[in-house]
Amino acid sequence: MHDHEGVPQVHHYLCTRCGYCVLLCPQHVLEMTSRGPIVVHPERCGGCALCEDLCPEGAIDCEFEIVWDGDPGAHASGRRAS
């Protein structure tokens, strides 16, 4: 079972439906609906936060990014996206 902690939250009350996030997500996670984008493929999301960075309205929050510290014995950890 995957943990989808890094999947973005879209605040539809802020969204103007410009479509940038849907077009620019490298993993095609999002799909546009009449009320704004929704996450249709959470399993594909790498938590890159590109959608959050590109949204001109600040309507997307990626609460966590996956950080891999390179230590083969370590577990992946979450850190708050800035």
Positions that interact with ligand SF4 (CB under 6 A): 8, 10, 15-21, 25-27, 29-30, 36-37, 45-51, 55, 57, 59-60, 62
What sections of the chain are H helices per DSSP? 20-24, 50-54
Rounded to a whole number of angstroms, the minimum distance from the CB of residue 68 to ligand SF4 is 15
- Find the shortest distance in angstroms from Cβ 73 to ligand SF4: 27
Q: Among residues 27 and 78, whose Cβ is nearest to ligand SF4?
A: 27
**Phi-psi domain of 37 (left: phi exceeds 0; alpha: psi -120 through 50; beta: other):** beta
Question: Which residue reads 């995957």 in tokens?
Answer: 2
Residue with smaller CB distance to ligand SF4, 47 or 73: 47
Cβ-based nearer residue to ligand SF4, 5 or 46: 46
Whole-number Cα distances in Å, 64 to 20, 35, 61? 21, 24, 9
